[in-house]
Chain A
Amino acid sequence: MNNDIFTGRLVRLSAEEPETYAENFSRWWQDSEYGRLLDMAPARLFSPKRTKEWLEKELEKDPPPVRMFGIRTLEGDNLIGFVDLSGMTPHGDAFVGIGVGEREYWGRGYGSEAMSLVLRFAFTELGLHRVSLMVFGYNLRAIRAYKKAGFKHEGRMREMIWRNNERTDALLMGVLGEEWLAQFGGAPEGK
Chain B
Amino acid sequence: MNLNQSLYLGERTRLTRIELESDPAALAAWTKDAALLRSLGEEVARPLSVWDVKKRLEKVEKEMDEGDTLYYFHIRPREGNTLLGWGKIYWILWASQIGNLELAIAPSEQGKGYGSDAMGLLLRIAFRELNLHRVAVSLPSYNLPGIALAQKFGFRQEVCRREVYLRDGKHWDDLSFGLLNAEWSANHE
Contact = CB atoms under 8 A, between A and B. Distances in A.
B96 A160 contact: yes
Interface string B67-105: 000000000000000000000000001011110000000
B178 A158 contact: yes
Contacts of A157: 134, 136, 158-159, 176, 178
A156 B156 CA distance: 11
Given A158-B134, A158-B180, A42 B95 contact: yes
Given A91-B165, A162-B97, A154 B42 contact: no
Contacts of B166: 91-92, 129
Interface string A157-169: 1111111000100
A38 to B, nearest CB: 14
Interface in A101-136: 129-130, 132
Contacts of B97: 162
Interface in B15-66: 42, 44
Interface in A23-44: 40-42
B79 to A, nearest CB: 39
A176 interface: yes
A95 to B, nearest CB: 10
Nearest to A173: B161
A158 B158 contact: yes
A90 interface: yes
B164 interface: yes
B95 A162 contact: yes
A179 to B, nearest CB: 9
Contacts of A160: 96, 98, 134
B171 A129 contact: yes
A41 B93 CA distance: 7
| Shortest beta-carbon contacts, A-B, top 9 | A155-B159, A91-B166, A89-B42, A162-B96, A172-B159, A42-B95, A93-B164, A91-B165, A155-B158
Interface of B: 42, 44, 93, 95-98, 133-134, 136, 156, 158-167, 171, 176, 178, 180
20 contacts: A40-B95, A41-B95, A89-B164, A91-B167, A93-B42, A129-B163, A130-B161, A154-B160, A155-B160, A157-B134, A157-B136, A157-B158, A158-B156, A158-B180, A159-B133, A160-B96, A172-B161, A172-B176, A176-B162, A176-B163
